[in-house]
Amino acid sequence: MASKRMCFSSAVLVATALMTGSVVAAQQARSNGAAAPAAAGVVVAVSNEYLIGPEDVLGVLFWREQDMSGDVTVRPDGIITVPLVGEIKAAGMRPDALREQIQTAASKYLTDANVAIVVRQINSRKVFITGMVQNPGAYPLTGPRTVMQLISLAGGLVEYAEAENVTIMRQEGSKTRSFKFNYKDVAKGKKLEQNIALLPGDTVVVP
C-alpha cells in the first residue's frame, strides 16, 4: 500500500511539474520512481506575459491521455491541430489561456480533461548577436531583455572587440534603424539610455 501511495504521489508531482513548466520538479519525481509522460521533453521557461507565435513548438499534454498528447508546431496562420479537439487558434495567446481553451474544448469528449501546455521551442521571437562575442547566434526573446543582457547571454565580448562601437539594427517595415551602444559606458553606469530593450528581430553587431 505504501508503495502504491509513493507511485501515485510521484505521478502527481510529474503532472505538477508539467503544469508549471518546472524541470526541477519533474526530475525529482523521476528520481522517486515515477515515469514521465511520453510527451515529456525540453521545456523553455517563459514569462507570464509570453505570447505564442507562428513556428513555436508546443507540448500539449493530456493527463492520463497519452494518445492525445504530443508536440505541435504553430502554423504560419497561427493554428495548431490537437487530436480529437481539432484546430485551435494559438498565435497571440498566452500558454495559460491556450490551455484553458483546449481544456474546455476537450471536456466535450473527455469526462476529466486535464491539459498542460509547455513551450518546447521559441521560433517566433528571437534576437541576434553577431561579431566579437563568445557565442554569437540567435537567442529566444522570452521576456524583456536589454542589449547588455544579450551580450551577457552570448558569453560577453572577446578580447579585441570594439566595445565603444556596438550597433543595434532594427527593421521597421522597409527601413532599418540603428542604435549606438557603448559597452564601456553602460558597464560603468553611464548613459544607461543606450541599454535599450530589444524587440524580436533585432540584431546586435559587435565589431
Q: Is a pLDDT exceeding 50 seen at residue 148?
A: yes
- SS3 letters across the chain: CHHHHHHHHHHHHHHHHHHHCCHHHHHHHHHCCCCCCCCCCCCCCCCCCCCCCCCCEEEEEECCCHHHCEEEECCCCCEEEECCCEEEECCCCCHHHHHHHHHHHHCCCCCCCCEEEEEEECCCCEEEEEECECCCEEEECCCCCEHHHHHHHCCCECCCCCHHHEEEEEEECCEEEEEEECHHHHHCCCCHHHCCECCCCCEEEEC
Residue 86 is predicted with a pLDDT of 93
Q: Indicate if the pLDDT at residue 31 is higher than 60.
A: no
Phi and psi at 10, nearest 5°, equal: -65, -40
Q: What percent of the chain has pLDDT over 70?
A: 80
What's the pLDDT at 8? 33
CATH topology of domain 38-123: wza like fold (3.30.1950)
**126-206: which CATH number, 3.40.50.720, 3.40.50.300, 3.30.70.270, 3.10.560.10?**
3.10.560.10
What is the pLDDT at residue 120? 94
Phi-psi region of 57 (alpha: psi -120 to 50; beta: other; left: phi over 0): beta
pLDDT tier, 143 (very low <50, low <70, confident <90, very high otherwise): confident
Question: Mean of the pLDDT values across residues 29-52?
Answer: 61
Residue intervals of the chain classified under CATH 3.30.1950.10 are 38-123
43 pLDDT exceeds 70? Answer: yes
CB contact burial 186-195 (16+ within 10 A = b; e otherwise): beeeeeeebb
- Every domain of the chain with CATH number 3.10.560.10 lies at 126-206
Structure pTM?
0.63
Where is mean pLDDT largest: 81-85, 120-124, 127-131? 127-131
> What's the half-sphere exposure (Cβ side, CA atoms, 13 Å) at 34?
24
Tell me the CB-side half-sphere exposure of residue 62, using CA atoms within 13 A. Answer: 22
